[in-house]
């Protein structure tokens, strides 16, 4: 739905959420390649883009309700 995606090799606890809430997915600012490293950072641009992504997601979820 217009969101860029990628496949990476790392662990997350998203699997413990189960199927009760629909299909889980991870989204957020920053680079997964830098996550939990000394180089981890989020630029202001990425943060602003994330806010827009969250707004779009909320609008879509509310319109589907």
Q: What is the pLDDT of residue 1?
A: 63
* Residue range 26-53: mean pLDDT, rounded: 89
Whose CA is closest to 30, among 43, 21, 20, 18?
A: 43
Give tens-digit pLDDT for 7-39. 777 777 887 876 777 777 778 898 887 888 898
Torsions phi, psi for 46 (to 5 deg): -65, -40
Q: Could you tell me the residue ranges of all domains in the chain?
A: 14-64
């Amino acid at each position: 739905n217009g969101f860029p995606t990628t496949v990476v090799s790392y662990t997350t606890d998203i699997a413990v959420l189960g199927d009760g809430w629909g299909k889980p997915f991870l989204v957020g600012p920053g680079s997964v390649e830098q996550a939990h490293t000394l180089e981890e950072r989020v630029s202001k641009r990425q943060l602003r883009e994330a806010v827009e992504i969250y707004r779009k997601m909320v609008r879509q979820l509310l319109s589907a309700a």
